[in-house]
Chain A
Amino acid sequence: MSYLSKLHRIFESGQFAVTAEIGPPKHASAHGIRHHAHMLVNHVDATNITDCQTAIVRLSSIAAGVHILDCGIEPIVQMTCRDRNRIAMQSDLMGAYSLGMRNVLCLSGDHQKFGNHPMSKNVYDIDSLQLVQMVRRMRDEKKFLSGEAIKEHEPRFYIGAVANPFADPFEFRVDRLEKKVEAGAEFIQTQCIFDMERFERFMEMVRSRGIDQRVRILAGITPLKGWRAAKYLQTGVSGMLVPDSLVERLKKAEDQKREGIEVAIEQIKYIKENVKGVHGVHIMAIAWEEVVPEIVERTGLYPRPRFEDRDTAS
């Protein structure tokens, strides 16, 4: 069997995948990205490269992906629907593939209101579901969105999407996940899990409909630096659920950062042991990449699998 990417291969080999996240900087140097990549290279299977997250202008996710790849990590290039129309998206998908990117994560993107250019005009020519469908169509049908044939060298991405079990309406979240799978998503990253009970209810619905058999699900884990971070996510970010008990636990801790790491480790262990249908974790250590190796090691996920032959299709 040939694999679309290393991440694809990890999943197909039945191993519990570990991915992390690298956010490109607000400047034109790759120094920081490469520093983080070197830090994570032995501990993760791939890293997401965010696409101007929270609508803040940052170094391009595709360009950052080239640096990450050069450091030995497989990138998962994020692509949002906020800033590009279908012409630019298809162009960038082909460009990214030509530069060695093999995974793409399709998402709507945060509204520009949150960023450093709230006066900008958003695009949303297509939505995240339609983007998934488009990437799949380019690959499997060798067609542009318009229907025109891609005569040769179609981009062959392993296609990801996101799911947020903590947003509303809760009962429709599994339906929407299923729609994304129908559209062609092959792996899913979830929003940061803090409310484990809700996540388990979500996964129960996912399993009861057999969706976990059709798509690989990475549970989103975010270590928190302290109770203020928890409180901010609880009250300031729409679509997040942070239980009061977690805020309190961090508040009471002598060393809050240490406690944040412990919580993340407990969550991963719990999910790995108890939540069926999850195929890996996606660790989003926001501006705290250096804690990822410890989390991976202490959850028994280290060392990461190595493949002797070529990892990906080229």
Chain B
Amino acid sequence: MIIAQQKPIKEIATMVGDCKRVALIGCAGCVTVCLSGGEKETEIMASALRIMRRLEGNPLETVTFTATRQCDPEYVDALEGLVKDVDAIISLACGVGVQYLAERFDKWVVPALNTDFIGGSTVHGIWEEKCGLCGACILHKTGGICPVIRCSKSILNGPCGGSQYGKCEISKDVDCAWQLIYDRMKKLGKIDRLLEIQPPKDWSTSRDGGPRRAVREDVMIG
């Protein structure tokens, strides 16, 4: 899922400093699961902003709603009545949701979250990045551990000379992805596969190729 974290409340307050009435739109998708932009967080953020503004002697009116998904035009359309009279919309979704709202409504839309990465939780309260969204998966070559994003140098023929005691050279808190890959391949009896030289990656399927598009004609309607 997409992992996002809230921006500091002061930063959000500044973005809507000149507004009198704002809509805070949460999202029931990924950001609910990673506890940053669901219904609960949306209500708490609305109260926090109201309290801040009241203390400043400049009260703010808020309306709140949590959409099933902000990355789906169907659920975004349904917000029309709610955002009609507001000066700005604060989206508590990932960057996709913010853009869907901005595209749909002629309103000032601001992000309440920083969209960090795609990954999952390890223990409650900790999330880790797992996928580099490169558009050409090589996990079958690396024992199910992604070097594109989990190696700090995205090395495809690792580990580099900075790997020691299982950790990456950048920090003792960061596991060396290639040590993990090595251990796993060894466990599976497939070390020989790591002896093959991996060719340079074609990054045109990655971020570098411009905005990507996925088309499934079989599910298109009309």
**Is the pairing of A and B real?**
yes
User: A interface vs B, CB < 8 Å?
Assistant: 81-82, 86, 108-111, 113-114, 122, 124-130, 133-134, 145, 162-164, 166-169, 172, 175-176, 178-179, 182-183, 191, 238-240
List 27 A-B residue pairs with CB atoms under 8 Å apart, sorted by A's residue number: A81-B153, A82-B153, A86-B200, A108-B153, A108-B161, A110-B169, A122-B153, A125-B203, A127-B156, A127-B157, A127-B160, A128-B157, A130-B157, A130-B200, A133-B197, A167-B161, A167-B162, A167-B163, A168-B159, A168-B166, A168-B176, A172-B182, A175-B195, A176-B159, A182-B197, A183-B197, A239-B169
Count of chain A to chain B residue pairs whose CB atoms are closer than 8 Å in the complex = 100
Find out whether the CB atom of B182 lies under 8 angstroms from the CB atom of A125.
Answer: no
Return the CB mask of B188-206 against A: 1 if under 8 Å, else 0: 0001001101111101000
Q: CB < 8 Å: which of A108, A128, A163, A239 contacts B164?
A: A239
Residues of A within 8 A of B156 (CB): 127, 130
Find out whether the CB atom of B182 lies under 8 angstroms from the CB atom of A127.
Answer: no
Q: How far is the CB of A127 from chain B (nearest CB, A)?
A: 4
Return the CB mask of B27-66 against A: 1 if under 8 Å, else 0: 0000000000000000000000000000000000000000
> With A110-B169, A111-B170, A168-B159 known to touch, is A238 a contact of B164 (CB < 8 Å)?
yes
Residues of B within 8 A of A127 (CB): 153-158, 160
User: B interface vs A, CB < 8 Å?
Assistant: 152-170, 176, 179, 182-183, 191, 194-195, 197-201, 203
Residues of A within 8 A of B158 (CB): 127
Residues of B within 8 A of A191 (CB): 161
Find out whether the CB atom of B179 lies under 8 angstroms from the CB atom of A168.
Answer: yes
Find out whether the CB atom of B162 lies under 8 angstroms from the CB atom of A110.
Answer: yes
Apart from A164-B161, A238-B163, what 5 extra A-B contacts exist at CB < 8 Å? Answer: A114-B169, A125-B200, A127-B156, A168-B176, A239-B169
Q: CB < 8 Å: which of B160, B191, B199 contacts A108?
A: B160
A304→B155 CA distance, assembly (Å) = 38
Find out whether the CB atom of A167 lies under 8 angstroms from the CB atom of B157.
Answer: no
Residues of A within 8 A of B153 (CB): 81-82, 108-109, 111, 122, 124, 127
At the interface, is chain B mostly helix, strand, loop or mixed? loop
Find out whether the CB atom of A130 lies under 8 angstroms from the CB atom of B199.
Answer: yes
Q: How far is the CB of B186 from chain A (nearest CB, A)?
A: 8
Q: How far is the CB of A305 from chain B (nearest CB, A)?
A: 30
Q: CB < 8 Å: which of B179, B197, B203 contacts A129?
A: B197
A166→B170 CA distance, assembly (Å) = 17
Q: How far is the CB of A120 from chain B (nearest CB, A)?
A: 13
Find out whether the CB atom of B157 lies under 8 angstroms from the CB atom of A179.
Answer: yes
Residues of B within 8 A of A162 (CB): 161
Q: How far is the CB of B202 from chain A (nearest CB, A)?
A: 11
Q: How far is the CB of A37 from chain B (nearest CB, A)?
A: 27
Q: How far is the CB of B159 from chain A (nearest CB, A)?
A: 7
Find out whether the CB atom of B200 lies under 8 angstroms from the CB atom of A238.
Answer: no
Q: In chain A, what residue has the closest Cβ to B203?
A: A125
Find out whether the CB atom of A238 lies under 8 angstroms from the CB atom of B169.
Answer: yes
Q: CB < 8 Å: which of A126, A133, A239 contacts B163?
A: A239
Residues of B within 8 A of A183 (CB): 197
Q: How far is the CB of B80 from chain A (nearest CB, A)?
A: 39
A212→B198 CA distance, assembly (Å) = 23
Q: In chain B, what residue has the closest Cβ to A180?
A: B157
A151→B155 CA distance, assembly (Å) = 31
Q: In chain B, what residue has the closest Cβ to A86?
A: B200
Residues of A within 8 A of B197 (CB): 129-130, 133, 179, 182-183
A271→B159 CA distance, assembly (Å) = 26
Residues of B within 8 A of A128 (CB): 155, 157, 160
Q: How far is the CB of B142 from chain A (nearest CB, A)?
A: 13
Q: How far is the CB of A135 from chain B (nearest CB, A)?
A: 13
